[in-house]
Amino acid sequence: LGRFVLIIWLFVVLILNSSYIASLTSILTVEQLSSPVKGIESLATGGDPIGFLKGSFAENYLTDELNIHRSRLVPLNSPEEYEKALQDG
């Protein structure tokens, strides 16, 4: 009977420990993923440049629907250009 209770307690402690570690990891990850852009409205009203895939519908959507001036739009052609633009800010 004692071994049975010990095995049950070990499983309970293992589950609680795993749950705690998962919650802590989630909290720390979410805090690092903060962004100044809170939504499409803040993107449209801000003054930062906006990158888009050249040849996609995004350019027309941003200019026609969201009234963003074309001077803020930066066409990007490849993943390397995306990476460079993100590194440059």
pLDDT tens-digit profile of 65-76?
888 888 888 899
Q: Is a pLDDT exceeding 80 seen at residue 64?
A: yes
pLDDT of residue 85: 86
Among 77, 69, 65, residue whose Cα is nearest residue 50: 69
Please list the residues that pair with 75 across neighbouring strands: 52
pLDDT of residue 62: 87
pLDDT tens-digit profile of 7-61?
999 999 999 999 999 998 888 876 666 677 777 887 788 888 888 888 888 888 8
Residues 69-87, mean pLDDT to the nearest whole number? 88
